[in-house]
Amino acid sequence: MRQYEVTFIVDPVLSSEEISSAAQNYIEHLKSEGSEIVHVDELGLRPLAYPIKKRTSGIYYCVEFQAPTGELINKLELALRRDERIVRFLTVALDKYGVKYNEDKRNGLIGKKRDKKDDAKHTEKPKAEKVIATAPLAATAVAAPTVEKPSVEEEE
Amino acid sequence: MASRDDIKFLSNPNIGGAKKKYCRFKKYGIKYIDYKDPDFLLQFVNEQGKILPRRLTGNSLKFQRKVSTAVKRARHLALMPYVTDLLK
């Protein structure tokens, strides 16, 4: 059993029923192929970073599933490719860390992790600012006595 | 008179020194980089949406590869732009 993740973008011009039925269609498709749906994530309407098929936004869906063989991926991708309602799709095989990450994300643990990252960022930035802030002060304070010293070091 | 030891402290030795870069993924134990999280990936691209080199981000080779695939996947899904200006 391997865990996969398929993300696809549905055309936003369709009615909401059509959109959900399109997504449901693929979920059923996966189930009928003998795979087990782990999680369906509706990321909702998002703006696209660049226009695709003259659309500037799309509805993102992310379906995580376990499949016994990789053969159904080809069938799924063929169906997605033929479907005009689907703007873009991407299938990814998840490694063990990816599986864990998605699990943690569902349980709300990743929020903390991300805070940690954010903290790291925030602590980094003030430090950098401090250095910048203190640099001119220190430079001005000790400018006179250190004038000679750096020049000597440069020469060396 | 100031002795040789006092002179050492007249200039801050930390001013000129470059801060040592480190791989944040190794440091914080992040094992997986999500391609569906463009806000996070934005840290690894420049204003034009190009992936920053390792010498600027400090990532280890292993995670730089993961970052680059994640960015490329995000680009494919239109979560991040392929080319742009004034991204940040």
Q: Which residue of B has its CA nearest to A51?
A: B78
CA B9 to chain A, closest CA, distance in angstroms equals 10
Amino acid at site A62: C
Enumerate the residues of chain A whose CB falls inside 8 A of the CB of residue B76.
88, 90
User: What type of residue is A18?
Assistant: E
Length reported for chain B: 88
Contact check, Cβ <8 Å, B15/A50? no
- Nearest-neighbour CA in chain A from B63: distance (Å): 13
Q: CA B70, A70, B81: angle at the middle one, nearest 5?
A: 20
Query: With an 8 Å Cβ cutoff, is B40 touching chain A?
Result: yes
Cβ B75–A49 below 8 Å, yes or no? yes
- Which chain B residue shows the shortest CA-CA distance from A127? B19
Contact A63, A20 (CB under 8 A): no
Residues 10-39 of A with CB under 8 A from B: none
Give the integer Cα–Cα distance in Å for A85 and A105: 28
How many whole angstroms separate alpha carbon B23 and alpha carbon A88? 33
How far apart CA A62 and CA B36 sit, in angstroms, is 9
Could you read off the pLDDT of B33-57 as tens digits, one per residue? 999 988 999 999 999 999 999 999 9
Give whole-number Cα distances, B7 to A90, A151, B43, in Å.
62, 15, 41
Query: Is B10 within 8 Å of A102 (Cβ atoms)?
Result: no
- Interface check for B20 against chain A (CB to CB < 8 A): the answer is no
Burial of residue A150 (CB within 10 Å: 0-12, 13-18, 19+) is: exposed
Q: Are residues A135 and B15, on separate chains, in Cβ contact within 8 Å?
A: yes
CB pairs under 8 A between A and B: 75
Query: What is chain A's pLDDT, residue by residue, as a tens digit (156 residues)?
Result: 889 999 999 998 888 888 888 888 888 888 888 888 888 888 889 999 999 999 899 999 999 999 888 888 898 899 899 988 899 999 999 988 888 888 888 887 766 544 444 444 444 444 444 444 444 444 444 444 444 444 444 444
Q: What is the average per-residue pLDDT within B52-65?
A: 92
pTM over 0.80: no
Res B81 pLDDT > 60: yes
